Amino acid sequence: MARQRSNTVRIIGGAWRGRRIHFPGAPGLRPTADRRRETLFNWLAFDLEGARCLDLFAGSGALGFEAASRGAAAVVMVEASREVAAALAATRDGFGAGGVQVVHAQMARYLNRAPQAFDVVFLDPPFAQPRLAEDACRRLAESGWLATGAHIYLEVAAHAQRPLIPPDWTLVREKASGDAHALLYATS
């Protein structure tokens, strides 16, 4: 019987700094690189304490667990793969992260629920499905998922065309590095 390879990333700051997140390999699962996460969390430094965060394409959980480690009050991680969602729940339990909720659902199905207002949203969909980013942005903007002044982090393939962004979102920061383009927006 072949043994499935487990991947790991580490938390780079906050209460769980240095702790490792283990996750199974899955098609399209590409954790945000340490350097890119460090940049992102420097951008969000003063906006995380007590924030409600949504990690809409959770994958490895690196963004959501990093936010919780750095003081977010609540983090909802949405993951389409049952196996990856189970690994996220195991990490949450291992960390004793009571403020982290793991939801096994497709992005569109999750966003069809009654909305909750989030202060920070992480959007890092699989690069092979660029329309997911645009669809997620539209759904978030139209349905009351964003608190006033919310920040939305979007990571897209460096070579890809930028998705259409809702007109009331303002680009606050951006940085291209390696295979990805990191964009941080704020709502008005």
3-state secondary structure the chain: CCCCCEEEEECCCCCCCCCEEEEECCCCCCCCCHHHHHHHHHHCCCCCCCCEEEECCCCCCHHHHHHHHCCCCEEEEEECCHHHHHHHHHHHHHHCCCCEEEEECCHHHHHCCCCCCEEEEEECCCCCCCHHHHHHHHHHHHCCCEEEEEEEEEEEECCCCCCCCCCCEEEEEEEEECCEEEEEEEEC
Question: What's the rounded mean pLDDT across residues 44-53?
Answer: 92
The pTM assigned to this predicted structure is: 0.91
In whole angstroms, how far apart are CA 159 and each of 33, 70, 92, 97, 126? 17, 31, 34, 36, 14
Confidence class of residue 6 from pLDDT cuts 50, 70 and 90? low
pLDDT of residue 22: 86
| Per-domain residue ranges of the chain | 6-187
| Residue 2 confidence (pLDDT) above 60 | no
| Residue 5 confidence (pLDDT) above 70 | no
| Alpha carbons 74 and 53: distance in angstroms, whole number | 6
pLDDT of residue 4: 46
Beta bridge pairs of residue 79 = 104
| Residue 16 confidence (pLDDT) above 50 | yes
| Residue 86 confidence (pLDDT) above 90 | yes
Question: What's the rounded mean pLDDT across residues 100-126?
Answer: 95
Q: What CATH superfamily is the domain 6-187? A: Vaccinia Virus protein VP39 (3.40.50.150)
| Residue 103 confidence (pLDDT) above 90 | yes
